[in-house]
Structure formats: C-alpha cells, structure tokens
C-alpha cells in the first residue's frame, strides 16, 4: 500500500503548491445562485471541503439571484441537492453547522441598488469577522448578464478591496462565443478586476488526472525523453458522453455545439498540458506561458477545404444508449428540427513546433456516444520490426500510454510481452494504475480544488486571457467554414449509442480510434 501522505509531501510539485497556497477566509458571492451549477457543483464542493477539513474557517456564502426566496428556502433547496450529489455523503450535523453560513440576496443583475445593498451586507460580515474582508465573486449566471454583473460590481465599488484584503472574480464558461465576444468580455473583466484577480474557470483543469499530466511528464525521467516526434506516432484525446439534451439543455447546446462547448476550452486545455514544454517554474504564469505557446502553434484551418480535410462534425440519429431507445439530435427537446449544430466533432490537429512537427493529435468529443469516458492516449512508434517479424500472428504494435481522466481515473501502459509457453509468441499486456486503489481514496471534485485555489490566490489551473483568445482564433476558423462559407463542409450522421460517424474513422487514415 502506498503511503499517500508521504508520497504527497515528497513530491516536489505538491510541496511547492502547499508552500505557496494557503486558502484564506472569505465571503463567496455566487451570481446566478438559483441555477443548477450552484446546487449541483459549487455549494456541494464547499460543503465537501468543510467535510474534509480543508475549508478555511469562517467562509460565508451569499447566493445572488433574481427569484424571490428566503434564506431558509435557499438553504433547503441546496440541502436537497447536496443529499443527492455530495461526494462525501450528507451529514446532518455538519450541514446544520454549515447552513447558517449561507444566505440569499435577491436582486436582478441589472439593478445597481442590489449591489449597493450587497456591499452593506458584505461590510457587516467583515465587521463580524473582525475586519477581514476578502471577497470572491463567482459569476455563474446566464452569459448575457456577465457584462452587467461586472459593471455593477465596479459601480458599487465591490471590485476594490480594503488594505491587506482581496477581491477576486471567477468567471464561468462560456467565455464568449467567438473571438470578438471573448475579447469584449476580457475587456470588461479587466476594467473591473486586475488580471491577477481574474479566474476564468475551466473545470477540466481541476480534475485530478488532468493535474497529474504535468507530474507524470516532469517528475518522472522515463517519459520526457520520448515525448516528441521521434518516438510518438500520434496522440488521441477522446471525451465521450452518453447523455443527450436532457433537462432542457438543448436550449443552450443548440446555440453552441460540441466545438465551442468542449473543444475551445476543456479539450484544448488538455491538449496544451500534453504538448507543452517544461515550464521554468510552477508559478501560474510560468505554466500558462508554456500552455499558451501550444495553442498559438496550432495549425490554423482557415479555409473550408482545410476544415473539410481535418474536421468532421456530426449529429446523432435515433438509436440506443445503455439499452434505452433515444431520440435523434434534431428531435431533442429545445433543439431546432433543422439544426446545423454539431453534437459530435472529431479533429486532426497539427502542432507546428519542433517537438511535435508531423505528429497528428486526434480529438473527438460528442454526446450520445456509448458511455461517459475521457482519456488521452499517447501512441508510441513501434520498435524496429527486425527480430520478431517472422513470428506467426499479428505484429506486436507500439506502446500506448493511456491517461484516464474519468471515470476510473488512472494511467496504463501497453507493452508487448512473451506469451507464456514453449513457443515464442507475443501478446500486448497492460500495466495499470488506478487512483482509487493505489491511493486508497477517491479524487476530490474539480470544483473543490479550483475554489480552494481561488481562495488561495493560485491561478495556475485557471485560463489566462491570451489562452482563451488564442483558442477562439483556432475555433473561429472552423465555425466560419461551417456557418459562413458558401460551400460548407457537410454534417455527418451517426446512430446514437455508436462511436461516431464513419467520416471520423476515415479522418484517421491508417490509424484507428482507440477502443474505450
Ligand atoms: C461542460 C459542458 O462544460 O462540461 C457540458 O458544457 C458537458 O456539455 C460537461 O456535459 C462535461 O463535464 P464533465 O465534468 O461531466 O466531463
């Protein structure tokens, strides 16, 4: 059994983080507090931090939203959901202790008086806390209100902090819908908060295994020498979801599509962690400087022909997922029956750097695929086939390193071995590491880690302005080819519950998508 505690402490990355970041007491104000995110993710995350003894003392939560609600009603709704979703379970005694720290502030997002009265409430809390006035504003409303919220925070002076205290803002996705809207939002944010106090959240960066990519690469000496185009043949990133447009999600999704919803943010972030150069240090900017270089080096698909060659978009038709019959994308609730929005996208990405020149990165993401699974697989080149090529049966194939982001977080390495027996036969085998069994405990939810980091002033796992904008540049070319060109690349179809359209298989040429 691994000694989990000591392993952490002897890990140089961890030590640095521990030394650098101490979460501080604060008041968290959540805009859009009646929404799903607050109920399913944010408050359960804060509750679980408390459960694990990681929450700084005296953290207060204020939910800010339009609907009429008393504190009591707000807390009851949160408790209801916490019972269903809390990672560590729901403890009545702990909740009774936790609930009084939550209150509700009713106001529209456009009404400046709502912010002025919020300021008074915050001052009162600070007084009770002995003058310590740290504030964390979490903008989790519908995106059309982001500007109003930021501007009103500024008008009410809430972007300023008292001597020795801080005011920070976390901005939820979607961070714009294209480059101009992202630039506009960045401008509004930067007029209100300094970049160092701005936390653009991408919850994939908070996932345990995503964080482990850097550790795997840079705290082990055996991978990095091979981590380049001399030894790596291709890389695949898959993010599959079995769900469709349940719970009215079609309303948002049909305006967004897979490329904007997942690739622009989560998947390009994962890609940049896999492909980045070693940072000079672990500071937020040290890491983000290297990540942004990757995104800047993506080959741009700036003509419809290039998009047709390198990107496949698709929609699912009726089919079966988990034994249940499900509707096709265009028949889904709140989806336009003539929708031209992709619920699946596959890309062949080229990173034009010295390290990666000639190595394709294949990426696929979609709804209504057979199961929920996110993984990155690094496919190494085959060993020179001079010794074993005369053996009967299949060629041994290359090594494959798989980083399972979720579920069953872990890492496996495919190797070739001799099959036991009197004759010489080769078989692939797997070395497999599972977080849950190796460390004896599950991973925290992404939002737990990220909220704690924001309370500690550590922006390493949040997207910087230039990362977001560079990612939009790449995505916008593809969106333009699909929606603004005269000869747009076709929309492929696949049966719900299958692994995507045949065009996505063809995109890989001689390679094959890894079977998950
Ligand atoms: C969100 C997307 O950002 O991530 C959703 O908007 C998607 O469409 C979700 O379902 C997936 O997150 P996770 O953590 O469940 O993989």
Atom of ligand 1 nearest to the CA of 207: 14
b (16+ CB within 10 A) / e for 10-41: eeeeeeebeeeeebbbbbbbbbbbbbebbbeb
Ligand 1 centroid to 260 CA: how many Å? 12
Q: Whose CA is nearest to atom 9 of ligand 1?
A: 262
Please, which residues bridge with residue 433 across strands?
411
pTM, whole model, 2 decimals?
Answer: 0.93
> Running DSSP on this structure, what letter comes out for residue 489?
P
For 42-82, how does the pLDDT look when each residue is reduced to its tens digit (9 = 90+)?
A: 999 999 999 999 999 999 999 999 999 999 999 999 999 99
Residue nearest to atom 8 of ligand 1 (CA): 261
55 C-alpha to ligand 1 centroid (Å): 25
Give the DSSP H or E segment for 426. Answer: strand 426-434
Q: Which of 281, 279, 199, 202 is nearest to 457 (CA)?
A: 199
User: Can you tell me the mean pLDDT for 359-382?
Assistant: 97
At 392, the pLDDT band (50, 70, 90 cuts) reads confident
pLDDT in tens, 126-143: 998 887 799 999 999 999
Q: What is the pLDDT of residue 2?
A: 42
Q: What is the 3-state secondary structure (H, E, C) of 196-209?
A: HHEEECCHHHHCHH
- Residues with C-beta less than 6 Å from any ligand 1 atom: 173, 203, 241, 261
**What is the average per-residue pLDDT within 241-270?**
96
SS3 345: strand
The closest residue, in CA terms, to atom 13 on ligand 1 is 204
Residue ranges of alpha helices (H) inside 407-460 are: 435-439, 446-456
Atom of ligand 1 nearest to the CA of 265: 3
Task: Tell me how far apart the alpha carbons of residues 150 and 196 are, in angstroms, rounded to a whole number.
Answer: 16
pLDDT at residue 3 in the model: 46
**Is the torsion defined by CA of 452, 209, 322, 342 positive or negative?**
positive
For residue 501, the model assigns a pLDDT of 98
pLDDT in tens, 296-355: 999 999 999 999 999 999 999 999 999 999 999 999 999 999 999 999 999 999 999 999
pLDDT of residue 10: 44
Tell me the pLDDT band of 115, cut-offs 50, 70 and 90: very high
Kindly report the backbone phi and psi dihedral angles of residue 418, in degrees, each rounded to the nearest multiple of 5, phi listed first. Answer: -80, 135
- Closest atom of ligand 1 to 261 CA is 6
The full set of domain ranges for the chain reads 23-172, 205-377+445-507
Consecutive H or E run containing 106 = strand 102-106
pLDDT, tens only, 98-109:
999 999 999 999
User: Which residue among 262, 265, 343 is best mutated to probe the pocket of ligand 1, counting the most ligand atoms within 8 A of its Cβ?
Assistant: 262
Query: Residue 19: which pLDDT band, with cuts at 50, 70 and 90?
Result: very low
- What CATH superfamily classification does 23-172 receive? NAD(P)-binding Rossmann-like Domain (3.40.50.720)
**Residue 423: per-residue pLDDT:** 87
Cβ atoms within 10 Å, residue 342: 27
With respect to CATH, is domain 205-377+445-507 assigned 1.10.3660.10? no
- Going by pLDDT thresholds of 50, 70 and 90, the confidence category of residue 383 is confident
Instruction: Please identify, by atom number, the ligand 1 atom nearest to the C-alpha of residue 203.
Output: 14
Q: Chain-wide mean pLDDT for the chain?
A: 93
Pocket test for ligand 1, best of 40, 243, 261, 371 (most atoms within 8 A of CB): 261
Phi then psi for 465, rounded to 5 degrees?
Answer: -50, -50
Q: What is the dihedral sign for C-alpha 132, 138, 141, 145?
A: positive
Catalytic residue annotation: 266
CB 170 within 8 A of CB 138: yes
């Amino acid at each position: 059994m691994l000694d989990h505690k000591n392993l952490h402490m002897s890990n140089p990355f961890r030590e640095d983080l521990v030394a650098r970041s101490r979460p501080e007491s604060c008041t968290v104000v959540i805009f859009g507090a009646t929404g799903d995110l607050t109920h399913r993710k944010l408050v359960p995350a804060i509750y679980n931090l408390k459960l694990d003894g990681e929450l700084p003392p005296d953290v207060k939560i204020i939910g800010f939203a339009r609907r009429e609600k008393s504190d009591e009603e707000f807390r009851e709704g949160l408790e209801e959901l916490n019972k269903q979703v809390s990672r560590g379970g729901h403890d009545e005694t702990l909740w009774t202790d936790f609930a009084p720290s939550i209150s509700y502030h009713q106001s529209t997002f456009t009404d400046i008086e709502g912010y002025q009265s919020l300021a008074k409430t915050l001052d009162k809390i600070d007084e009770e806390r002995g003058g310590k006035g740290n504030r964390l504003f979490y903008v989790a409303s519908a995106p059309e209100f982001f500007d109003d919220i930021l501007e009103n925070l500024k008008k009410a002076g809430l972007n300023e902090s008292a001597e020795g205290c801080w005011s920070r803002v976390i901005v939820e996705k979607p961070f714009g819908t294209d480059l101009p809207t992202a630039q506009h939002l960045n401008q509004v944010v930067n007029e209100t908060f300094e970049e160092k106090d701005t936390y653009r959240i991408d919850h994939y960066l908070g996932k345990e295994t995503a964080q482990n990519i850097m550790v795997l690469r840079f705290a082990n000496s055996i991978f990095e020498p091979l981590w380049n185009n001399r030894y790596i043949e291709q890389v695949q990133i898959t993010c599959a979801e079995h769900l469709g447009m349940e719970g009215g999600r079609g309303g948002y999704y049909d305006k967004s599509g897979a490329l904007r919803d997942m690739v622009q943010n989560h998947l390009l972030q994962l890609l940049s962690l896999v492909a980045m150069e070693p940072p000079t240090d672990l500071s937020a900017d040290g890491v983000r400087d290297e990540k942004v270089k990757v995104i800047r080096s993506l080959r741009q698909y700036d003509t419809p022909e290039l998009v047709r060659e390198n990107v496949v978009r698709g929609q699912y038709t009726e089919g079966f997922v988990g034994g249940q019959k499900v509707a096709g994308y265009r028949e889904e609730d709140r989806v336009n029956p003539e929708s031209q929005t992709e619920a699946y996208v596959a890309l062949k990405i080229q990173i034009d750097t010295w390290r990666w020149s000639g190595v394709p990165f294949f990426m696929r993401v979609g709804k209504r695929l057979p199961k929920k699974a996110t993984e990155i697989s690094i496919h190494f080149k085959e060993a020179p086939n001079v010794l074993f090529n005369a053996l009967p049966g299949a060629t041994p194939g290359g090594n494959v390193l798989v980083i399972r982001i979720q579920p069953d977080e872990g890492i496996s390495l495919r190797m070739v071995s001799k099959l036991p027996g009197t004759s010489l036969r080769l078989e692939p085998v797997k070395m497999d590491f599972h977080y849950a069994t190796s460390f004896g405990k599950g991973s925290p939810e992404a939002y737990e880690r990220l909220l704690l980091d924001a309370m500690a002033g550590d922006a390493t796992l949040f997207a910087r302005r230039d990362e977001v904008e560079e990612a939009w540049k790449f995505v916008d070319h593809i969106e333009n080819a699909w929606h603004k060109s005269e000869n747009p690349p076709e929309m492929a179809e696949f049966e719900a519950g299958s692994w995507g359209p045949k065009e996505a298989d063809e995109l890989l040429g001689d390679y094959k998508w890894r079977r998950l």
